Structure 1
Amino acid sequence: MTSAKYDVLGIGNAIFDVLVQTDEGFLAAHGMTKGGMSLIDEARAAEIYRDMGPAVEMSGGSAANTIVGLASLGARTAYIGKIKDDQIGRLYAHDIRAAGVAFGTAAAADGPATGCSYILVTPDGERTMNTYLGAAQQLTSGDIDAAEVAASSIVYLEGYLWDPKDAKDAFVKAAAIAHQAGRQVALTLSDSFCVDRYRGEFLELMRQATVDLVFANEAELHSLYETSDFDAALRQLRSDVGLGVVTRSEKGCVVASKDGVSAVPAFPVRAIVDTTGAGDLFAAGFLFGLVRGAGYEAAGRLGALAAAEVIQHIGARPQTSLKELAKANGLPV
């Protein structure tokens, strides 16, 4: 196997994040389910934006957040995601490249606007997302750069990408190219509502070894196996995929492989400000540990460290160098 040009290549929905701190009343008034992610149309997006207070805006999307986190740790990273050649699209491209990520996906000349997610953060730090996918839905197999995929140690795919048919095809194409090149494929389940929609298809991806590694939180794991019994769900996960990593908020994470299960504690935090990106940044730390050959426990600790950094401020991108933070905490970089 040839040496990799990139440690991790992410493929996902390129979404521009608009974050605002709000209260439960705003969610109720707009009929939102707290803690969830709803797909919305352009009209609903405009209505929410009109009623929102001052916002923090930055490039986002689940897999993109993970890739930026990996770059902050010192990994060599690339990203594939569809934007439109509009003002927000140009901001998005500049933002992700400025973070040290190779991003060469051609912008769409026409069609829907660059996707946006309106993220409402309540005082308890919980985030409620309303996402207009826009141009992100236009990702097709033609956007998959076969050479880039084959040159990446791990290809990381987000479950949210499973909504549009063409993006689904792009996802499967990338996984096949990666495996032909002897690379690994990771999937994050993204959201329990997403799992509800595609449970059977996600299980098939796992059982047919289209993906080698799955990231999930507790809610997603329970949804995947339609059980409230955590241990039973974990046993099933171990039989369905080579490696499964389940995050459990303040309880840390559980790494489940054919060889056994190990628990890694959460990293201490002073105060939770915004949980947006916690799972994305955990995946960044874990994948970094994996590509560096640090072992599952160290990978879990790197994930916990990255997640802890991101939940202590607004926004889903690290505000301090994760590489320096890891060094300061005696973790392998």
Structure 2
Amino acid sequence: MVEIIWDKFPLVAGQEQARRWLQFTANIGRAPNTITAYGRALEDHLRFCALVGADPLTIRADVIAAWIGDLHERPNPRTAKLVHLDSGTGLANATIQQYVIAARSFYEFLIEDGLRERNPVRRGQSGRRGRRPRQGLVRRVEKAPWIPNEWDWQKILQATGAEPLRNRLMLALAYDGALRREELVHLEVGDFEPAYCLIHLRAETTKSKRAREVSFGTATSRLFMAYLAERRRLVGRAAGRLLISVSRRNRGAPLGAASWSKIVSGIADRAGVPRLSTHTFRHLRLTDLARAEWTIDQIAQYAGHKDLSTTLRYIHLSGRELAAKLRRATAAIQADRERLLATLVEGR
């Protein structure tokens, strides 16, 4: 049985069905981050139910709607850190989507157990195969991911230049390999093939649970070899996790994902680029591959995406770049159009 830290979710732990659902979700192999997110979502839902005096076993859709309305209206705890004009009130759309999905899964579990007949969390329905489309409870807002322009990227690299060797290597690997946070910190020395500048990502460390290979460049290779020498002096061994802590308390222990987030946050502050996150390097790399005219299938394979629609959300080409691609693709057509339009200048 997968162990869950129940102190994080006291209301879930105290409600038999909720506890069983979260334990079930963990036992079937959901990622630890997913379990934490689902536990937090159901904790919030149970807290709202207690506030309005509703029993999760008997509530109807109107209580779910009231809960979603509360999510939209409550003060956003991250408001002070956000820089968008629309970030004052309400949780982020993605967070609300996640909460609703968790609640829907919980009620599906109750239905399978025979404790409820219907799910109060309505599911959206596409209009495919002649079906009438039906809007879900929360409209999905799709925002283009932020990527730094050349000026921001130079400031980020300049700020990173003052970081220890390990942190500089982490940024280079995160960009070159388009690595997720968890993929980066779980790299092992044996995953690298320096002669071919390849990294073999093991299936168990990836979000999709599918192995893949990514590459790294000359600069990253130099950082990697220098860090291996430094790491060997620190811990006296070559194998194991690549990225290790050098703090007095955890010296030699594998570096965690939260530590990488803290490192990037510090870089963002010093660079004066508040929108920088651990995922920015992945976004930028995939966009650069699109700029290099990789096909969407090639980019999806490099990123480890199962669905091409996910890849399309990650790639963010500017209007100037799209216009240039359009001009190249339609050069012959445009030349013919211009020739015909020239007859208007000459007249009859």
TM-score (normalizing by structure 2): 0.27
- Ranked by relative contact order (alpha carbons within 8 Å, sequence separation 6 or more), the top structure is 1
Higher helix share: 2
Q: Which has the higher strand share?
A: 1
